[in-house]
Chain A
């Protein structure tokens, strides 16, 4: 009797088991207290088909090397803390499954996002990124008396800027932009996306000011439409399209 039961449970676990595999993670480490030079470190782990890159980083930090440093908050693709460069592409570590990265074809390369100063390991200084974001005034600008109830907007008017409301400020787009890599003076896709969110909002009255701010030498005209930003965005925002729409609004304003 007992034997039969045991056998039954065995087959059940096998049928519902998540496939496991060996995966090699190659992390770019930088510890300023120890050395000015970054170096590569490899870890081979046994991971499961449901595991994400963030789970692998957790496993390294919790079980192998506690000095590995990275940002993450919600771990579910909402907070935008853990944008990193995985196999040369900017991704959220919490939204990228290991099994989708061909772990059998060599190590998975994990680096900090490019173009922003590295503080330690995978943590970069986001201040230049947020400074550009603040410059475009990411808040509602209105004039006149406040309405007694809500500011009314039709579904169509809301739809106009729906795509750019999805931004989580993870910096995956800005730090994938080759123009931003050069000297970090370009406003970057994220700032333009968040300006777009207000420029095309029917309730907002600050469009002219925002267009003026982005009509800078380092503004929208530095965009070369390489589509790196659109490709990198973990929220699927059509970033390059939004930038082009801001350019068009500027040209309309000039004529």
Chain B
């Protein structure tokens, strides 16, 4: 008969060694993207809410007009990507810090990455394929250049 007793003097071992620069790049990205996002987001808020008539200006024509310009397309695209990667990476570290079981971690991360992919793909698609002048729309709702 063999007894299954753990060796009481067995040294503790880390579950696995995971050496790579991934966490370092993640850490650096958080700092870099944070600074860029401050500029992008406050620029976005200023242009949308403060300039001219402010928030009352925002309608389909305003958004359509903005996305007709490559400058605002790139601004919004950069804001979308940086904010989504920054936020997802932040939530990823929170999951790593608080979820104790591997299963919980895996489930939460699958949810997180699915939400990330959905939002980024959909957002990018909209920014590039947005039609500011849809056919058969009433003219008073459309941007002036239609």
Which residues of A does B touch, CB under 8 Å? 127-128, 130-132, 135, 178-179, 182-183, 185, 212-213, 215-219, 221-222, 224, 247, 250-251, 254
Contact A215–B21 (Cβ < 8 Å):
yes
> Which of B15, B17, B26 makes the CB contact (< 8 A) with A221?
B26
A254→B98 CA distance, assembly (Å): 29
Write out the residue numbers on chain B whose beta carbons fall within 8 Å of the beta carbon of A221: 23-24, 26-27
Contact A212–B19 (Cβ < 8 Å):
yes
Of B6-14, B46-54, B77-85, the one with at least 4 CB within 8 A of chain A: B6-14
Q: A178-B97, A182-B98 are in contact. Are A127 and B24 (CB under 8 A)?
A: no
Contact B13–A215 (Cβ < 8 Å):
no
Contact A131–B26 (Cβ < 8 Å):
no
Write out the residue numbers on chain B whose beta carbons fall within 8 Å of the beta carbon of A219: 19, 23
Contact A217–B12 (Cβ < 8 Å):
no
A217→B100 CA distance, assembly (Å): 16
Contact A182–B100 (Cβ < 8 Å):
yes
**With an 8 A cutoff between CB atoms, is B56 at the interface?**
no
Q: A127-B11, A131-B13, A135-B14 are in contact. Are A215 and B100 (CB under 8 A)?
A: no
**With an 8 A cutoff between CB atoms, is B18 at the interface?**
yes
Write out the residue numbers on chain B whose beta carbons fall within 8 Å of the beta carbon of A247: 27
Q: A179-B97, A182-B97 are in contact. Are A131 and B11 (CB under 8 A)?
A: yes
Contact B28–A251 (Cβ < 8 Å):
yes
Q: A221-B26, A251-B28 are in contact. Are A185 and B19 (CB under 8 A)?
A: no
Contact A127–B14 (Cβ < 8 Å):
no
Q: A179-B97, A215-B19, A251-B24 are in contact. Are A185 and B11 (CB under 8 A)?
A: no
A219→B26 CA distance, assembly (Å): 13
